[in-house]
Amino acid sequence: MLRALRQNGPAVSLQANWLSPGERGLDDLQVEKENDHSLLAFLHLSERAAATRFAVYHDVLAIDPETRAVFGEILKDEAFHMNYTHKQLKRIEPRRYATRLWLARMSRMWKAYLRLSVAVAGVFGAVFLLVQYFVLLPVFAFLAKRAARSEPEGWTAADARPHSMRSQYR
């Protein structure tokens, strides 16, 4: 399947993994801290996202019918998982399941915002450090060299006046 992809299409090497949520970092799911309804809402949204992605994979793989068929089978599974988790959430929270889903969506949006903020902060940090290194550091290096030229070379005699034993400033 991969061989067929390589032969029929251009190699795309862009991987935007930091954009996609997964069970790591902010999105690491700690099952013991969740309750049944929040877990089911989380699972439903995850299964829904997976089904959406596999539908896209299925749609774009016209050049590789074999892989397309595999993604079609996985899509059926994901659709079943999505419907099952929704049904179970409705069963245990018949009146508040919509609120649970809304809260889970807000949580995902908040995490997406945090991921984006971290990425933007990383870019700003890199730019700031590059500017410091290539713009500010040469100025300080120039000033330090100029100041070094006015300093006497070698050892200099210590101050001959007596020093106080109570203060470092005489």
- Cβ proximity to Fe ion: between 85 and 93 the closer is 85
Angle, helices 97-131/36-60, rounded to nearest 10 degrees: 70
- Reported in sequence order, the residue ranges of 28-143 that DSSP labels E, i.e. its strands, are none
The Cβ-side half-sphere exposure at 8, using a 13 Å CA radius, reads 11
CB of 94 to Fe ion, least distance (A): 24
- Cβ proximity to Fe ion: between 54 and 97 the closer is 54
CB of 101 to Fe ion, least distance (A): 17
Q: Which residue has the tokens 């699972």?
A: 43
Q: Which of 39, 53, 70, 81 binds Fe ion (CB under 5 A)?
A: 81
Footprint on residues 103-162 left by Fe ion (CB under 5 A):
none
Nearest-angstrom CA–CA distance, 68 and 119: 33
CB of 81 to Fe ion, least distance (A): 4
53 binds Fe ion (CB under 5 A): no
- Cβ proximity to Fe ion: between 64 and 78 the closer is 78
CB of 83 to Fe ion, least distance (A): 11
Dihedrals φ, ψ of 52, to 5°? -60, -45
Tokens coding 90: 């409705």
Nearest to 63 by CA among 25, 10, 119: 10
Return the number of other C-beta atoms located less than 10 Å from residue 50's C-beta: 17
Query: Count residues contacting Fe ion (CB under 5 A)?
Result: 3
Residue with the closest Cβ to Fe ion?
81
Binding segment for Fe ion among 28-36, 73-81, 100-108, 128-136 (CB under 5 A)? 73-81
Query: Which positions lie near Fe ion, rule CB under 5 A?
Result: 47, 78, 81
